[in-house]
Structure 1
Amino acid sequence: MDLDAYVLAHAHEWQRLDQLVRSRRLSGAESDELVERYQQVATHLSVVRTSAPDASLVAHLSSLLARSRNRAVGTRVGSWRGVQSFFVERFPAALYRLRWWWLGCFAANVVVTAVMMWWLLDNPQVEQSLLSPSEVDQLVNEDFEGYYSEYAASHFAAQVWVNNAWVAALCIALGILGFPVVTLLFQNILNLAVIGSVMMRHDRGELFWGLILPHGLLELTAVFVAGGVGLRLFWSWIEPRGLTRTQSIAREGRTAATVSLGLVVVLAVSGVIEAFVTPSGLPTAARVGIGILAELTFFAYVFVLGRNAVHRGFTGDLDATLLEDRVATQA
């Protein structure tokens, strides 16, 4: 196909569609014309992709079609209805569909943490090689407990949220590479195992678990979810499951983006708990109970809302109407 000739033949139709999209108000006839032009240009895009895939022209027509679609059906992404759909359908559906990945990540990290704690408790010489006696005394008697009340609660909540959101984002962003996710998760649980073993060896286990569990249950679950989703993204190009590798990575990448946005809220909740509940004067049982309740609420969200959303056809991917236009053409 002669691309220059094709562009010359149809450029006026593309310009007209652009004019309709930019118009502040459309009459009934113009609205009908917008839909008709949209269909024409979608066909043109398909022809260009098939016969003469020029990257700049494909990008231009795709952008034009996206703006046309939003003008035709109304912009839904920024609406409250879109936000509701995200948290009731897309996010829980993504969590449920990918549940075996992040549950496996969850279980593996819990087991490895428990084994490391047991080994460290059984090998006190390792602690001595990592920390001096004065550092151990500082950690056990002051630093660990003081960490949760060192800053104003609101400032601490923001600090915790940013830190954990960054770790979760790295797990997803580096997921395509696979190994960096494992490294990030190991570093995370190594710190937990070392500090936990030190506290328990010095008879401060009750304090350790009483301060970790209220926020840590939900916080670590969110990090393990990010790790599992990141590893699924890595696996999407190893085993594309009937799709091309590009299609497989694109689908799982969009789902990973859905999960990362949702985890921002989950980590915000854990940050609030860490700032306002963990250091509070509530009895240890009450604080841990709040943490368990938050964790159970998350699992109910996934396995009730998520399962129902999946049964209704949601996967965590973008709605089909928001994906790239694909129009079949005849030769």
Structure 2
Amino acid sequence: MNIQRWIGRRQPTWQALDTLLKKLEARGVKALSAEEIRQIASLYRSVSGDLARAKTNQVGERLVSDLQSLTARGYAQIYQGSRRQEWQAVLEFFQWGFPAVVQRSRGYIALATALFGLAGLVAWWLSWHDPRFISLVVPSGMIHQVRDRGELWTGSIVGIEPFASSSIMINNIQVSFGAIAGGMTGGLLTAYIMLFNGLLIGTVGALAGQNNLAVPFWAFVFPHGSLELPAIFLAGGAGFLLARALLFPGQYRRSDALKLYGTQAAQLVFGLVPMLALAGMIEGFFSPQPNIPDLVKYVTGILLFVSLVWYLGRK
């Protein structure tokens, strides 16, 4: 290979890449046109090939070093820049995309919420009118602790906060993913999970109320429940979206309906997981703490819930 002739032929390509990189480094990707973006990717691949050839043919350390510097700059802008764009896309999803998909799914989420609320109210009423009902839902050890010892079980979390928090997160995520996967049963499992969890909280709430522990019990529930329960309702909505695709595909083929509504459900899942993680940390480290006044816990829960409603309702 005639090295000087090769350098003379390839040098305009190196200079073109250097010029585009300087523009990109100084002003960002918005400074480039669509054609320049395609050009910079093509030039980078070409110069990378030149670097390999330069090393093979021993064209000189200075030229190899210059080409290495040029390709390193190209790599940083093309690949690390794409990573920055991915992170920007994630931030934009949580800023606008997640609230938008929640609003599009409000009917399905409302159905999940209604099933949960109805089961909770029925369980509350039955627990007050027939005390035997409580023993059908609540473990006997919890009943004994509340009725006979006059204390809540929440104190068992104190002292093992990291373990409890991670266990709570895992359990909540399992419940939520069960509700989502339940959509593939035509929504039957999703409906069961919503009803069962509503039944459970209604019964436990009645048990606490019957034994003059309603104030500390709901003070425990409010901080983390303000995020945890809405996240479960979102999971139920995602499950009902999948059920809709299976049972009522409408104008779509069932496979196409599953892709369409499955994408919507996946977006709900992507948004609700951080809610469950934060709720688990609050339930492990904040909600059970006896040195935090109940009033502070109520106010915290209300503020979190109001903030969540504002966030999900933004246009």
Q: Same fold (TM over 0.5)?
A: yes
Question: Identical aligned pairs, as a percentage?
Answer: 26
Whether 1:238 and 2:247 are equivalent positions in the alignment is yes
2:91 alignment partner in structure 1: 84
Whether 1:261 and 2:278 are equivalent positions in the alignment is no
2:283 alignment partner in structure 1: 274
Q: Does structure 1 conserve the Cα–Cα contact (< 8 Å) formed by 2:165 and 2:283?
A: yes
**Residues 118-129 of structure 1: matches in 2 within 5 Å?**
118-127=125-134
For residue 228 of structure 2, what is the amino acid of its counterpart?
Answer: E
1:156 alignment partner in structure 2: 164
Partners of 1:86 and 1:163 in 2: how far apart?
26
Residue 134 to residue 166, structure 1, CA distance change in 2 (3 Å): closer
1:329 alignment partner in structure 2: none
Q: Does structure 2 conserve the Cα–Cα contact (< 8 Å) formed by 1:215 and 1:291?
A: yes
1:283 alignment partner in structure 2: 293
Residue 202 to residue 261, structure 1, CA distance change in 2 (3 Å): same
**Residues 8-23 of structure 1: matches in 2 within 5 Å?**
none
What is the deviation of 1:108? 3.1
What is the deviation of 1:198? 1.5
For residue 303 of structure 2, what is the amino acid of its counterpart?
Answer: L
The structure with the larger Rg is: 2
Partners of 1:130 and 1:195 in 2: how far apart?
9
Partners of 2:264 and 2:83 in 1: how far apart?
18
For residue 214 of structure 1, what is the amino acid of its counterpart?
Answer: P
TM-score by length of 2: 0.68
Q: Which of 96, 102, 108 is 2:109 aligned to?
A: 102
Whether 1:93 and 2:109 are equivalent positions in the alignment is no
Partners of 1:132 and 1:253 in 2: how far apart?
37
Partners of 2:88 and 2:238 in 1: how far apart?
26
Q: Residue by residue, what CA displacement relative to the aligned partner does 1:232-288 show, whole Å, maximum 9, x if unpaired? A: 210123222422221111011112111112111011121122122212322212111
Work out the number of aligned pairs and report it.
241
TM-score by length of 1: 0.65
What is the deviation of 1:142? 4.3
Residue 259 to residue 26, structure 1, CA distance change in 2 (3 Å): same
Q: Does structure 1 conserve the Cα–Cα contact (< 8 Å) formed by 2:116 and 2:199?
A: no
1:47 alignment partner in structure 2: none
What is the deviation of 1:143? 5.1
Whether 1:27 and 2:43 are equivalent positions in the alignment is yes
2:155 alignment partner in structure 1: 146
* C-alpha RMSD over aligned residues: 2.9
What is the deviation of 1:136? 2.2
1:297 alignment partner in structure 2: 307
Q: Does structure 2 conserve the Cα–Cα contact (< 8 Å) formed by 1:161 and 1:267?
A: yes
Partners of 1:99 and 1:260 in 2: how far apart?
14
1:251 alignment partner in structure 2: 260
Q: Does structure 1 conserve the Cα–Cα contact (< 8 Å) formed by 2:165 and 2:281?
A: yes
Residue 108 to residue 27, structure 1, CA distance change in 2 (3 Å): same
- Structure with bigger RCO (C-alpha 8 Å, 6+ apart): 1
1:171 alignment partner in structure 2: 179
Q: Residue by residue, what CA displacement relative to the aligned partner does 1:169-206 show, whole Å, maximum 9, x if unpaired? A: 11112212110111222222222122222211112111
2:7 alignment partner in structure 1: none
Q: Residue by residue, what CA displacement relative to the aligned partner does 1:74-132 show, whole Å, maximum 9, x if unpaired? A: 84697221211221233222111101211232133123202211111111132356679
Residue 94 to residue 134, structure 1, CA distance change in 2 (3 Å): closer
Partners of 1:134 and 1:156 in 2: how far apart?
19
What is the deviation of 1:135? 5.3
For residue 299 of structure 1, what is the amino acid of its counterpart?
Answer: V
